Amino acid sequence: MMFVAVLVGYYVSSGRLPDASTLALSFFTAYCLNGSSMAVNDLVDVEVDRVNAPHRPIPSGAVGRLEAKLLATGLGVIGLSSSALLGTVPVLIAITSYLLALAYNVSLKQTGLLGNSVVSATVAAPFLFGSAVAVGTPDIGSGTLAALAFLSSLGREVVKGIADIEGDSVRGIRTVARVRGVRFASFLGAGAVLAAVVLSPLPYLTGTLGWAYLPLVAVADAGFAFSSYGLVKGLSPGAARRVKSQYLLWMFLALVAFLVGSATR
């Protein structure tokens, strides 16, 4: 999904697809940096995962800590090296995003909403990265898409805090759900997602995306609204676990809408 977001940012800003070498370097940057940060996250969260998700590779014993460390390091080196070959602004965006992801894994996750915002910024960054690769610096069109991605991701991160409330207490993570309660977190998470829904026509109205964007994003918007209703109606970790998976599906559909819309401007 990160790589597709890079392609969308590139196409929205340039009206064309990247050449083969740029395509490959963009893929390695998006895939490897995201993979590296995920591996670090699993290393840091192993005690929480023993409670929330014991089936994951490290707590289940399928992968050792040393293996995960080697994987995280190798992927990080490949991703940063690839981004360095794409230009000054792209590598700065890649480095900043990667450092934010690492900071979240190591310490900012404990802060709750601030940590949620940092994760959401890394989800939005690929659109800006792709735009910078295409035209040198991110433009307004890619910034609009990044803002929508940020809001929907922020809502999902808050909802994940509800789903993981039991395990998060092991490390004392101050998620919105733990600090303000499940009800407040449910309404905040749904509110951020619905803000993205309300703003979703902007890319079409500003000419950033073409007509094909509208029917696809309408389905994604309906899905976001339906899932949000289920969240605030359920007001429980169980409801949050279902909704966080549903949100990911609607985010993917919205990403496809971005891609198709950029091709039909």
Q: Determine the 3-state secondary structure of 107 from DSSP.
A: coil
Taking the mean position of all CA atoms in its chain, how far away is CA 174?
Answer: 20
Residue 119's domain spans which residues?
Answer: 2-263
CATH number at residue 228: 1.10.357.140
Confirm if 259 and 126 have CB atoms less than 8 A apart: no
Separation between Cα atoms, residue 105 and residue 38, nearest integer Å: 9
Chain position carrying tokens 């109205």:
205
Q: What are the pLDDT digits (tens) for 67-114? A: 999 999 999 999 999 999 999 999 999 999 999 999 998 888 888 899
SS3 assignment for 162-225: HHCHHHHHHHCCCCHHHHHCHHHHHHHHHHHHHHHHHHCCHHHHCCCCCCCHHHHHHHHHHHHH
Confidence of residue 53 (pLDDT cuts 50, 70, 90): confident
pLDDT at 170 over 80: no
Separation between Cα atoms, residue 17 and residue 134, nearest integer Å: 9
- Angle in degrees, CA 158, 114, 241, rounded to 5: 15
Closest CA to 240 of 171, 185, 203, 180: 185
How many domains does the chain contain in total?
1
Q: What are the pLDDT digits (tens) for 173-208? A: 888 999 999 999 999 999 999 999 999 999 999 999
44-76 in b/e burial notation, b at 16+ Cβ within 10 A?
Answer: bbeebbeebeeeeebbeeebeeeebeebbeebb
